[in-house]
Amino acid sequence: MITEAAREWALKYATIALLGWELSECKTMQATHSSITFTAFVPSPPVPIWANLFPLYYTSRQASIDLERTSIPGLSLAEALRDRRFWWLYASVVLAAPSMFIPFAHVSAAARDMGIDAASAVGLVGLIGIGSLVGRFVIGALADRLGRTLTLLLMQGSMGLSVLAWLSAGSYPMLAFYALWFGLSYGGIVSLLPALCMDLFGARAVASIIGTLYTGAALGNLLGPVVAGAVFDRVGSYGPVIWACIGLSALATIASARLIRPQPAAKAPG
């Protein structure tokens, strides 16, 4: 059996080996001295244990974090969560999410119910993808001219209106038109949200803000297609689902409109 003394010596040798590797990375004697000084075998409580073994990496990482906190403008995640604009944006994402994800799961099934062959029906999802790809480029250029907030408002409204094409579709060409229109709107919304977060809240904590914002889409992604399928199984039609998507898109558009701030009136020359 391994004795306690053997364990202690093994730990010391492992620590010395790691320290030697760390010291070999130092470029000057001053850096070497700093490394040895910082590397205490019993770290103070606020310092992670792994920092004892990799002090150069830890100090450079901490310096990078401190620099970001002090020099990058913008709001922290906590500050953004206290900002009313974040919650209007979050509401728009939550409300629009079912309309975004239900078509991916059900438009091909709706096409098959209309007597369209399976290959063409599945191809509608591909058309949504094509529209989304085009939307990410075209809508981005439009946003540079009109402003991202106004463009988001227009894309939310466009997505709701596109569902009317699904409601009135009686043939494959009309469904294909809907798929392209919906994909264009969907792609525009997805491409605008990260840049809009940067505009509204700055770069300081933009990654965590975007991640928190996208939790709103998760609920619609999870429940939207499931509820839509349950409604169809009960009533035998996608009509109620489509009208619900239109209503939710209208509410998402209203929430997006709350992000538009009125421009201050120009002062009269005097």
**Structural domain ending residue among the three candidates 23, 56, 71:** 71
**pLDDT of 10 above 70:** no
Contact present, 80 and 209 (Cβ < 8 Å): yes
CA distance 229 to 11: 59
Q: Is 263 inside a domain boundary?
A: no
Across 120-128, average pLDDT: 92
User: What is the amino acid identity at position 215?
Assistant: T
pLDDT in tens, 59-79: 555 555 555 555 678 888 899
Is residue 102 domain-shared with residue 235, that is, in the same domain? yes
Supply 24's token pair.
């070999």
- Whether residue 265 lies inside any domain: the answer is no
Give residue 263's pLDDT band: very low, low, confident or very high (50, 70, 90): very low
Domain that holds residue 153: 77-257
**Contacts of residue 242, Cβ cutoff 8 Å, sequence gap at least 6:** 163, 166, 167
Task: Please indicate whether residue 4 or residue 171 has the higher confidence score (pLDDT).
Answer: 171
CATH number for the domain including 170? 1.20.1250.20
Asked if the structure places residue 209 within a domain, the reply is: yes
What pLDDT is recorded for position 14? 47
Residue 18 near residue 52 (C-beta atoms within 8 A): no
pLDDT per residue as tens digits for the range 74-114 = 888 899 899 999 999 999 999 999 999 999 989 999 999 88
Domain membership flag for residue 136: yes
State residue 131's pLDDT score.
92
Name 122's Cβ contacts closer than 8 Å, sequence gap at least 6.
108
Picking from 65-69, 70-74, 181-185, 227-231, which range would have the lowest pLDDT averaged per residue? 65-69
